Every structure is written in C-alpha cells, then in structure tokens.
Structure 1
C-alpha cells in the first residue's frame, strides 16, 4: 500500500507491525506485574486492614459529638430567643 501523499521530511512513520510489537510488549509487562502481585502474601496483612478499619471507625465516632452539640445549642438559643421576643 502506497501513501496517497508524499510523507514530509522529518515525519515519523509507525507501522502496524511496530504498534503490534509494542502492544505485545506491554501485555507481557502487565502479565509479569500481575503475577508478582498474585504471589504477594496479602493474607498476612489482614491484621493491618482490621486495625485501619478500627482506627477509621474511632475517628468517625469522635467527629460527630461536637457538631451535634453545636446544633442542639443553636436550636436551644433560637427557642430562647423566640420565647423572649414574644414577651414571655
């Protein structure tokens, strides 16, 4: 197959064969990394995951009392303000 227009000087031509070779090389590298990941002893790290989960839950629990207290205080102040404004 010949190109319909001349290729300008300084252009780079990448053939389908070169693209295929690069795709195959990438496939082989991904396969290699995947097999290395599969061989990691991930089960040994389950205690780290459990510890991480516990720490996150503790932080979440500690986060809610202050906003809740602020909301209750605001509602209480609003009720007292309305009570005083109505002259009671």
Structure 2
C-alpha cells in the first residue's frame, strides 16, 4: 500500500481486515498446538496411571516370593538336620 493515502478510511479498513485475518490464522495455529499438547498430556496421564496400577500389582505379588524362599530354606535345613541326626 505504498501509493495510497494512510489516512484514507478505506485503506485503513482494508489493512485492519488483513490484520484480523492474520491474527485469526495465528490464533487457530496456537489453538491447534494447545489442543495437541492437551491430548498428549492426557495420554501421558493414562500411561502413568497404567504404570502405577501395574507397579502396585507387582509389589503386592512380590512379598509371597520372599516367604516361599524362607520356607524352602527352612525345609531344606530341617531335612538336612534330620538326615544328619539319623546317621
């Protein structure tokens, strides 16, 4: 708009309309980016909740293994004592 009068109301209105379009496009792009970030955050939250649930189930099922190990060791020791005492 180099050869038009900057005080011309029509030129000002056209320039304002052009700026409005540019701002709308920019806001749409930012809105899309924010929606993508929210979606990724929701997916991350779901994965974190799933991992927490799986970890809790592993922790619950882990304690019997130690008890079984101790019982097996005690049984082995008892069998060894019985065999040694029978000789």
What TM-score do you get using the length of structure 1 for normalisation? Answer: 0.48
- Which structure's CA Rg is the greater one? 2
- Answer 1 or 2: higher relative contact order, Cα 8 Å, separation at least 6: 2
| Structure whose residues are more often helix by fraction | 2
